Amino acid sequence: MRGRRFRIALAALGLCIVTMLGLGTSVRPAAADFRLCNNTGSRVGVAVGYKDADGWTTEGWWNLPSRTCETVLKGNLVAQFYYVYAIDYDHGGEWTGHSYMCTRDKEFTIRGIGDCLAHGYDRTGFFEVDTAQQRTWTVQLTESAEQPPSKPLPPGSPLSAPPTTGAGAKPPPPATSGNKTP
């Protein structure tokens, strides 16, 4: 009788361990990433910019095949505003804006956004993405004809005012967000 109880207890312990291991591998924290989707028929190169506790950073290039998505920044978003520049490798055109940051032709991570040319980098216009302080965000890159028309800004809106410049100024908002220009 005593040996039987020991075997039942041992079997129950084994079942608990197997169950805990199974739960441990099936429970995953919610994904919190910055993703880009290329919804065009072309290959697209993407660069991103953002400001974290250490200052401004731009990174590139992610090469997105046609009709694919890729996580470009993993983990919780550290900023409300992110900046994107993309180029259509196959048909030309680009997704650009009026927030200027530093890039280069080859893979890069660049700290800072000032004096790009003096540091040997290209000065490139990025468009702004407002994540509304969400933990995760996906940007959809589409052909401009695929985008619904956007509403014009009301007169006197702070986004329609001329951009401010100077040290520490936030780059101004873009003219478009996610629309490809020829």
* Whether residue 15 sits in one domain with residue 46: no
Residue 7 belongs to what domain range? 1-30
Distance CA 97, CA 122 (A): 15
Q: Report which of 133, 142, 144, 100 is spatially closest to residue 34, judged by C-alpha positions.
A: 133
| pLDDT bucket at 182, cuts 50 / 70 / 90 | low
User: Do residues 5 and 50 share a domain?
Assistant: no
> In this structure, are 37 and 3 located in the same domain?
no
Same domain, 7 and 64: no
Reported residue count of the chain is 182
User: What is the pLDDT confidence band of residue 59, given thresholds at 50, 70 and 90?
Assistant: very high
Looking at the fold, whether 14 and 81 belong to one and the same domain comes out as no
Alpha-carbon gap, residue 72 to 59, rounded angstroms:
9
Q: The whole model's pTM is what? A: 0.65
For 31-56, how does the pLDDT look when each residue is reduced to its tens digit (9 = 90+)? 579 999 999 999 999 999 999 889 99
In this structure, is residue 163 part of a structural domain? no
Q: What's the rounded mean pLDDT across residues 127-143?
A: 92
How do residues 68-127 score in pLDDT, each as one tens digit? 999 999 988 888 999 999 999 999 999 999 999 999 999 999 999 989 999 999 999 999
Residue at token pair 């965000």? 137
Cβ contact 86:47 at 8 Å? yes
The H or E element containing residue 52 is strand 44-52
Residues 66 and 4 in one domain: no
Same domain, 96 and 139: yes
pLDDT value of position 181? 56
Highest mean pLDDT among 6-20, 115-129, 145-159, 163-177 belongs to 115-129
Domain count, the chain: 2
- Residue 92 and residue 51 in one domain: yes
> Is there a single domain that holds both residue 88 and residue 7?
no
Average confidence (pLDDT) over 10-19: 38
Residues 66 and 111 in one domain: yes
| Domain annotation covers residue 63 | yes
Q: Is residue 16 domain-shared with residue 50, that is, in the same domain?
A: no
- Which 3 state secondary structure label does DSSP give 75? coil
Does residue 62 share a domain with residue 26?
no
Judge whether residue 4 has pLDDT over 60: no
- DSSP letter string, 84-132: EEEEETTT--EE--SEEEEE-SSSEEEE--S-TGGGT-EEEEEEEEE-T
Cβ neighbours around 64 below 10 Å, total: 23
